[in-house]
Amino acid sequence: MSAGHRPAAAAATTIQRGWRRYVQMRLFRLLARAVRAAEHCITHEILRRVSPTEAELIKDPSMNCKVRFRFAGQEFPPFIVFKIFRHTQGKGSKYISGKRIISPSNEAAADACKLMGYRKYYEQIVQDELQYQKQRITDETDVATMKDYMHYTSNLDETPAYFGGRNNCWRRLSLKNFPRTMIVYDIMDYAQSRTLSDRLKKELKFLLLRPQNKELWHNQLMTVSNIRSSFPCNSSVTSSFCSYQPTTVSMQSTRCSSQARQKTAKMKRAYLCEKQREAQKLDIKSRNDFAEHQEATVSQAEKPEDQSVADEEWEHEAAKLYTWSQALSLEDVG
């Protein structure tokens, strides 16, 4: 290479290095917005896609759980991991584990050996020994300093439950764990494919702003976690420098086919017809009940009159019989 081309090559290398640094810094800022939005706005939506059972459990206020999101990885761009923490409010929590309850000094060890079988029991002992040789701090008796305690709690979280651990390690999130209807999905897709979506391009300048106050920081979080609409918005409304306002008008998705709309209308008509039939049946039944009630009332009202007429006829016949008996003489009787 000639001496005249060396400064140009060095300048090109400097420009390329500066451009790569700018692109990486931009991506890192977007990922930081995604992590904050995941931790403060859409925690339940993400966890519901990872583990629905854990998501329902964390919704319980008595659990006092908090989900933390962090960056991890040895290369750029980093990936996002999460971990569930439980606030005990100074009361502490007790994890029941057979590894700590069953000790060689009690009869539970012999009973466990009988239930598990010798082979499985020996495999468990070998696994415990290998874990101790690898980590050196696997029990509370191995803790001597604060550093040992932190190492012990970390190992306890990462150890599977069948080895006596909590099985609560940092878990990696993939692209499918993020809602497709939010910009956070576009950010994670951009980190993998390095392709900007149309919606992310519109909000890119606003998301890359350094938050100077709490209001701007909140608006950025809401922009990342906002549900995307299926129709293009007005540029003046979706300007990156405008304050965020949540969309309140919901329009029907353009992806809904005419066949689906016809099916929905048919189901609605069938539902209304069924409702009308039920209303007619109830009306007829109520009318029949009312007619039966009226007949019963009339019959009950007529019964006393019939009884009184029969009593009067009986008294009249009795009077006639008495008069006839008085007219008889002893000769007629003999």
Query: How confident is the model over 268-298, as pLDDT tens digits?
Result: 777 777 777 777 776 676 666 666 655 655 4
pLDDT tens figures, 91-138? 666 677 777 777 777 788 888 888 888 888 888 888 888 888 888 887
Q: What is the distance, to the nearest Å, from the Cα of residue 184 to the centroid of all Cα atoms in its chain?
A: 19
pLDDT tens figures, 17-40? 999 899 889 999 999 989 998 888
Does the residue 187 lie in any domain?
no
Does the residue 71 lie in any domain?
no
Phi and psi dihedrals of 74, rounded to 5?
-100, -5
What does the angle CA 40 – CA 43 – CA 46 come to, to the nearest 5 degrees? 145
Does the residue 297 lie in any domain?
yes
Alpha carbons within 13 A on the beta-carbon side of 198: 7
- Least confident among 85-89, 120-124, 154-158, 210-214: 85-89
pLDDT tens figures, 183-241? 899 999 999 888 888 888 888 888 888 888 888 888 888 888 887 754 444 444 344 44
User: Mean of the pLDDT values across residues 41-67?
Assistant: 86
What does the angle CA 220 – CA 221 – CA 223 come to, to the nearest 5 degrees? 65
Does the residue 6 lie in any domain?
no
Which residues face 83 on adjacent strands?
68
What domain count does the chain have?
2
Instruction: Using the 3D structure, point to which of 147, 164, 181 is the last residue of a domain.
Output: 164
Instruction: Using the 3D structure, point to which of 164, 181, 209 is the last residue of a domain.
Output: 164
Does the residue 160 lie in any domain?
yes
What pLDDT was estimated at residue 254?
45
Residue 61 has pLDDT above 70, yes or no: yes
Does the residue 174 lie in any domain?
no
Does the residue 81 lie in any domain?
no
Does the residue 91 lie in any domain?
no
CA distance 226 to 202: 14
**Orientation of helix 5-40 relative to helix 183-193, angle to 10°:** 150
Claim: this prediction has a pTM higher than 0.85: no
Q: Domain range for residue 149?
A: 100-164
Instruction: Using the 3D structure, point to which of 139, 164, 189 is the last residue of a domain.
Output: 164
